[in-house]
Structure 1
Amino acid sequence: MARTVRHPRDRSRAVRHHNREVAGVTGVLLLAVCLYSVVIEPNPWLWFGWAVLLLVCVALFTVRP
């Protein structure tokens, strides 16, 4: 069985793409929680939103492309 050898540049391109996706998702989630806190006064759901945002960001940074 032949093994496919990937070029190192392909790996760095995949990492850059992954980092852009992580930054985009993090930014959208942060914006959503911030807008929520501006429109609706802070309450327990706001803190739940921040906790979810934190967990999603940690998960995205631990997943490798």
Structure 2
Amino acid sequence: MDIAAMSVVMANSQVRSQASLAVMVNVKNLMQQQGIQLTEMLQKSVGEAPHPSLGKSIDIQV
């Protein structure tokens, strides 16, 4: 393989690596945002704890 072809191959490899890294950074940022939003949603939805025996038994007459 001559030097010019090797240079092209190495440049293409570097471009692929940079693109892959950019995608991973975007995915990481998206996951962080979703994690923050999920935490906020869970904090908003938490109310008072239900009564411990509420809904545990059913009264039935036959």
Distance, in Å, in 1 between the alignment partners of 2:3 and 2:13 is: 15
Distance, in Å, in 2 between the alignment partners of 1:12 and 1:34 is: 33
Structure 1: which 5+ runs fail to align?
1-5, 42-65
Q: Report what 2:12 is aligned to.
A: 17
Structure 2: which 5+ runs fail to align?
37-62
TM-score by length of 2: 0.55
Higher helix share: 1
Q: Which protein is bigger by CA-based radius of gyration?
A: 2
Distance, in Å, in 1 between the alignment partners of 2:18 and 2:7 is: 16
Kindly report structure 1 stretches of 4+ aligned residues shifted beyond 2 Å: none
Higher RCO (CA < 8 A, seq sep 6+): 1
TM-score by length of 1: 0.52
| Residues 37-59 of structure 1, C-alpha deviations (whole Å, 9 max, x = no match) | 01212xxxxxxxxxxxxxxxxxx
Q: Shift of residue 29 of structure 1?
A: 0.5
Output the aligned Cα RMSD: 0.7
Q: Report what 1:26 is aligned to.
A: 21
Give the number of aligned pairs: 36
